Amino acid sequence: MSFEIILNIIKIFGALGLFIYGMKVMSEGIQKVAGNKLRSGLSSLTNNRFGGVLTGFLTTSVIQSSSATTVMIVSFVNAGLLSLRQAIGVIMGANIGTTVTALIIVIFGFKFKITEFALPVLAIAIPLMFSRKDRFKFLGEFLVGFAILFIGLGALKELVPSELPEETQAFIGQLGSYGFLSTILMVVVGTLVTIVVQSSSAAIAITLTLCNKGIIPFEMAAAIVLGENIGTTITANIAAMVGNTHAKRAARAHLIFNIIGIVWMLIVFNPFLKLIDQLVINLGLGSPFNEVASIEDGLTAFHMSFNIINTLLLIWFVDFIAKIVTRMVPSSTDEEEIFKLKHISSRIVKTPQLSLQEAKLEMKQFGGILKGLAKAGRELLQSNDAKKTAKYHARLVELEEVTDRFNEEVSAFVIQVASEEIGNTNSHEIRDIIGICAAFEEIGDEFVRLSRNHQKLEDKNIPLDDKQLTDLMSLYSLLEESIKITADNLNKDFNNISDQKSIEIENKINQKVIKLHKKNLKGIEAGDYQVKTAMIFKDLIATIEVIGDHLLNINQGALGKYSEEDEV
């Protein structure tokens, strides 16, 4: 192989890279422009399967990436914003929406010389990117991506040779001589190409370019496009690997939907291609079987027809698909899964709004963990058995480690979100979430401190007397009430909570603590308590008070009061 051929292959990969990068920038730009509208649109228009299909179609048509749409759907399911049935409908619509991308590529990439307009588009886009207004800045990103995409496509068309060596032509001809086996082989090729480039749009651009040069015939290209429909599901399935059970099911549903479609299409493949051929001829565009210039039109018609018909057929089997994927990905019932991150993952591509929603869903688990700490703490304080005390202490240490992990991972997650382009409202939410996580982690530390102080009583063999234990548990009951209020608030939409009850119970805790400190001092003066016991009792009371303070901080953080304090 000569140096010129090697250099040309490298250039082709460079052009393809430019196309993929342009698609990425364009898609991310339009997602930023759409912002909250994407989230509200997906959550409000998916009440039935037809609404879901329409939503998926419109979303993919706007952001020009079926992979981005399906990954977003997986993220929404992961965050609890969409049910599995709703997600399947949106996925079906996304498959139709991706045909719009192919149509745009054909029109602007092959019918017109869009590369001549790329520099003027960049001339408009670059100043917009320096705008102080986010909307104009993100619109500039979209236009830059649009220009880069078609510059890459133009370069790809120029670099792919019109005439291949005779050996290569013979090899391609031989691939198409195995009848139905050739069709299967091309489906596999399309799947692999899409997996490698991680973009069905890029895979379609490659296929259209090869057709435009007359390198592959219409029937081969159509089979490759079928394979690309399978390959594009891989991105969502990779994203779902770090998601919850529902996210995995949504990704599997995308795969199942496309596989079912390809199976029935392969059964009617040749007759269907003849119908497409007749359709394109009737439109005055020539026969894709006989004219190279018509192959791209025939391929676009095939791509659109297949995805529309497949959706119209399978939309009535949404529940059936949901049952299949539910069996494929059963729910986990292991106890050890209770206090693990269930919703967030830095590997799933999403908007900042969605990321923060997922972080808030993780914080719903904080309530369960707090109740676990409170239960273990009560049992420890009331226990007279050394073995049971050791067990409760171990449980508190275990849960404290959980609070550390949740604080570290949720905070790191939202800090990563903060590194992206975010609005002012989102930055406030990020500060609130970080504040809540910090207070949550501090509560875990205080419960372990409570346990260690109680351990001192056992080590020195100076247990609390009945009056001290009664007073302590009376204070502890107020703390448990505060924890219940906090857990209830964390389980609600933060826009629908109040800190009134948490303030009231915190005041009761503080008043009780003052009374107990005075009573403790009087007990020392009267000789009712040993000084060592009284000092440890004082530490236990102080620890409970600190936990109450952190609980109030969590409730006020959920209301956004950390952000308000930052602005003062």
Whether 324 and 357 share a structural domain: no
Whether 103 and 232 share a structural domain: yes
How confident is the model at residue 111, as a pLDDT?
A: 57
Whether 165 and 286 share a structural domain: yes
Q: What angle do CA 72, 77, 78 make, to 5 degrees?
A: 90
pLDDT, tens only, 523-540: 888 777 778 888 888 999
Residue 336 in domain = no
How confident is the model at residue 459, as a pLDDT?
A: 81
How confident is the model at residue 40, as a pLDDT?
A: 54
What percentage of the chain carries pLDDT values higher than 90?
A: 15
Residue 552 in domain = yes
* Residue predicted with more confidence, 306 or 208: 306
pLDDT, tens only, 146-192: 788 777 767 766 766 656 556 655 666 666 667 788 889 888 888 88
**Domain termination residue (choose one: 265, 296, 328):** 328
Best-predicted range by mean pLDDT among 112-126, 444-458, 553-567? 444-458
Say whether pLDDT at 201 is over 80. Answer: no
Q: Which of 167-176, 226-235, 272-281, 555-564 has the lowest mean pLDDT?
A: 167-176
Whether 216 and 357 share a structural domain: no
Output phi, psi for 12, to 5 deg.
-60, -45
Whether 310 and 361 share a structural domain: no
Say whether pLDDT at 456 is over 90. Answer: no
pLDDT, tens only, 316-369: 888 888 889 888 887 654 333 345 566 665 445 456 667 777 788 788 888 888
Residue 339 in domain = no
Whether 83 and 222 share a structural domain: yes
Whether 141 and 273 share a structural domain: yes
* Residues contacting 274, CB < 8 A, separation 6+: none
Whether 399 and 514 share a structural domain: yes
Residue 187 in domain = yes
Whether 89 and 212 share a structural domain: yes
Residue 333 in domain = no
CATH of residue 432's domain is: 1.20.58.220
How confident is the model at residue 480, as a pLDDT?
A: 93
SS (H, E, C) 206-229: HHHHHHHCCCCCHHHHHHHHHHHH
The answer, as to whether pTM is greater than 0.85, is no
Which token pair is 459? 């080590």
**Domain termination residue (choose one: 328, 343, 362):** 328
Instruction: For residues 149 and 18, give the distance between their C-alpha atoms in angstroms, rounded to a whole number.
Output: 6
Whether 413 and 292 share a structural domain: no
How confident is the model at residue 423, as a pLDDT?
A: 54
Distance of CA 135 to the CA centre of its chain: 23
How confident is the model at residue 338, as a pLDDT?
A: 41
Q: Which of 125-129, 446-450, 506-510 has the lowest mean pLDDT?
A: 125-129
Q: b/e per residue, 253-282, with b = 16+ CB within 10 A?
A: bbbbbbebbbeebbeebeebbeebbebbbe
Whether 319 and 365 share a structural domain: no
Which token pair is 438? 């910090």
Residue type, 174: Q
Closest C-alpha among 188, 189, 180, 120 to residue 150: 120
Q: How many domains does the chain have?
A: 2
Q: Which of 71-80, 93-102, 335-344 has the lowest mean pLDDT?
A: 335-344
Residue 337 in domain = no
The domain containing residue 379 runs over which residues?
Answer: 352-567
Best-predicted range by mean pLDDT among 39-53, 219-233, 421-435? 219-233
Q: What is the average per-residue pLDDT within 430-443?
A: 89
Whether 140 and 195 share a structural domain: yes
How confident is the model at residue 47, as a pLDDT?
A: 57
Residue 335 in domain = no
How confident is the model at residue 109, as a pLDDT?
A: 60
SS (H, E, C) 172-187: HHHHCCCCHHHHHHHH
Residue 338 in domain = no
How confident is the model at residue 527, as a pLDDT?
A: 78
> Are 296 and 211 within 8 A, CB to CB?
yes
* Residue predicted with more confidence, 172 or 231: 231
pLDDT, tens only, 137-146: 888 887 888 7
> Are 65 and 27 within 8 A, CB to CB?
yes
**Domain termination residue (choose one: 328, 344, 363):** 328
Averaged pLDDT score across all residues of the chain: 79
